[in-house]
């Protein structure tokens, strides 16, 4: 069947269910934690210092699934590795803690005899997401001032991959 559309889980109006403990499994709300798609949180040249810091900041409250975060990260990294290899550092600033649950429905003939519909519709864990609030940075890009057009294009490509509205903020790197 594949993934449900992002519109089904991008708002923050639902209660977050993130309790997962390895030490005390009896306290878990979630019995089996889905794997996170985002594996790398810092990439590029991590050793040198940079002039500017560009942040991709959320303009509204939104929940971003981990596969959208990963595709945005790959879009930024792919463009910058091609245009300015070794002259940037990218950091993913959010972590997908929230577990998304899905009440899977059976379609087709005879489904009414196999399924209870919305009775006890807690759902099974299917995916993970990061809950991002207005003004919170999703990605930080450290780069020199002469490469600003590449940073703008990289963030434009990343915005296309993620739900919600975002803006780019520029500051001096520390």
pLDDT in tens, 70-83: 999 999 999 999 99
Higher pLDDT, 153 or 113: 153
- Sheet strands side by side (includes 62-65): 62-65, 124-132, 98-102
Q: Model's pTM, two decimal places?
A: 0.84
Q: Domains in the chain and their CATH numbers? A: 38-103+120-172 (3.90.1170.10)
pLDDT in tens, 108-147: 666 666 666 777 777 788 888 999 999 999 999 999 999 9
Give how far Cα 8 sits from Cα of 4, 14, 37, 65, 113, Å: 7, 11, 19, 11, 27
Mean pLDDT of the chain: 86
């Amino acid at each position: 069947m594949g993934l449900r559309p992002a519109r089904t889980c991008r708002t923050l109006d639902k209660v977050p269910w993130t309790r997962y403990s390895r030490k005390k499994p009896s306290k878990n709300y979630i019995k089996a934690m889905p794997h996170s798609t985002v594996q790398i949180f810092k990439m590029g040249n991590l050793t040198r210092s940079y002039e500017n810091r560009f942040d991709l900041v959320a303009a509204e409250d939104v929940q971003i699934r981990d596969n959208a975060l990963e595709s945005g990260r790959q879009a930024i990294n792919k463009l910058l590795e091609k245009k300015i290899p070794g002259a940037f550092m990218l950091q993913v600033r959010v972590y997908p803690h929230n577990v998304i649950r899905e009440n899977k429905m059976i379609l087709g003939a005879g489904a009414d005899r196999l399924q209870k519909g919305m009775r006890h519709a807690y759902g099974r864990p299917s995916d993970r997401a990061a809950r991002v609030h207005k003004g919170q940075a999703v990605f930080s890009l450290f780069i020199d001032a002469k490469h600003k057009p590449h940073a703008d294009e990289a963030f434009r490509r990343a915005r296309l991959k993620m739900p919600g509205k975002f803006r780019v903020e520029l500051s001096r790197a520390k």
